[in-house]
Structure 1
């Protein structure tokens, strides 16, 4: 995907759009990158009229061209299905090959998508954008890195506050840890998260997420040592001690299960029926 350079300032605009996403978030971020001659959209929000209304408002306020390309970071319902609202733009939809089938399901009846792979480079005017395959939250998660601006658009890999959920069958904790370690090595001034404000202290936030995941892993092992056998439900109840909103308990349990799967891969935990224990 190549765009001819034009002499016109490039803007990178975050558009928070109301979506029925996970508590405590109430909006999902879409990003416009471009100028009055050409632009792209990163993520398309939920399939509802306000998606198109907010995006058209942002295009007008920022004097940006209608995007002819939409890059979807991943397939989840608060990031992808909004493309149905935008088909009068006649956009080309892009995603990673490992996300293709989930994306096609999410945006049906749209039935054509194009592929972007790790290391691909696209251009909007004279702005270079690097594509990063960053699995963990989903197998085909894409992040966009803009070296000249030191900006990363991270999808749901990084949130403005708190941590994202990682859970089977889509999520893989081992992949997610590797992704975070890779993102740490980018030259960053700020991160555009999937939810919330711009992250102005990117390394601090990445380190916070890594430390939280390590803490949770150690906590799970300590609880298994103490109680010998626990289900993922019991573990999650002990970890959070009713300190999370009931609406997100199931995704918290999925994240616990993702940690358990990682620990089983490493030979540290065993599963017997529905009971987990420290591997002896």
Structure 2
């Protein structure tokens, strides 16, 4: 999706609803859209900061200006990609705020990525299990375990308003990338189905605009992934093939710069199908069973 025309509201605290403000980080890219969106939850003297973002001083200053005289009750991270969690450590050092949320995860790999690498500085004071909550005056944020994009991914439900902070699991501008070995398509689909069963009224993702018809979007995302899976099975029914050979048929007219990302998505689907006993491989050649 093309970027919207500038100027973007980078560094400005935007009020989205009575308990939620948004601050956009200055890190636009093909994988972050206009940048990572940090959310400040709470209207009283204790607030939570969700996905503090990259360790960029201008962004940290913008967060602190938005927080003002309030105490930061928790720096809450949905996952540990480097566009989401690195600012937690310096803000914690400045304020004494605890880092709360996802489990630490650092994946060492020399494979090309279609998203940000992992943050080695992330050290949570408390890891939230599925269903655990943090609260402050007038707000409660409950952790929803949503592995798939990464194995440690969490969403946070704001119980007072029906909002869900979805990190990179469901985004307002693009489908999430699922990159093996940590990204898992089977878990990603189960996490989408988990959200589909919920009754959240609006999604605030880390990238892109608020999602005002969340269940409709999730239903479409599940359908899109099932369509990709069926394409893979159909193509393997015609001929066994290596992963690069799927791309011309599945992604017609794709920008060559995005071929590696497409290959990793196909690989994630194939690994899921392999676990389900539907495909097999011999070295780099995949075939149906």
TM-score, scaled relative to structure 1: 0.86
Which of 236, 249, 253 is residue 247 of structure 2 equivalent to?
A: 236
CA contact (8 A) 1:51 1:85 kept: no
Unaligned runs of at least 5 residues, structure 1: 1-8
Match of 1:100 among 100, 104, 111: 104
> How far apart are the structure 2 equivalents of 1:123 and 1:261?
39
Gaps of 5+ in 2: 1-16, 108-117
CA gap 1:272/1:18 in 2 versus in 1, 3 angstroms: same
Larger relative contact order (CA 8 Å, sep ≥ 6): 1
The answer to whether 1:207 aligns with 2:219 is yes
2:77 is aligned with 1:72: yes
Deviation at 1:255, TM superposition (A): 1.4
Q: How many residues align?
A: 262
| Deviation (angstroms), 1:214 | 0.7
Instruction: Report Cα offsets for 1:200-239 as digits up to 9, x if no partner.
Output: 111111112111111111111111112x122112213432
Q: Secondary structure of 1:102's partner? A: coil
Q: How far 1:140 sits from its partner (Å)?
A: 1.2
How far apart are the structure 2 equivalents of 1:208 and 1:161?
Answer: 14
Counterpart of 1:33?
41
The two structures, once aligned, show a CA RMSD in angstroms of 2.2
Aligned to 2:8: none
Which segments of structure 1 move beyond 6 Å, counting only runs of 4 or more? Answer: none
The 8 Å contact of residues 158 and 164 in structure 2, kept in 1 or not, is answered as: yes
- Higher relative helix content: 1
How big is each residue's C-alpha offset from its partner over 1:59-113, in whole Å with a ceiling of 9 and x where there is no partner? 34xxx614241111001111111224423122211233xx32439x7152x6553
Counterpart among 266, 273, 278 of residue 268 in structure 1: 278
Mapped to 2, the partners of 1:278 and 1:218 lie a distance apart of 12
Matched, 1:51 2:56: no
**Given that residues 133 and 143 in structure 1 are in contact (C-alpha distance below 8 angstroms), is that contact kept between their aligned partners in structure 2?**
yes
Cα distance, 1:22 vs structure 2: 3.5
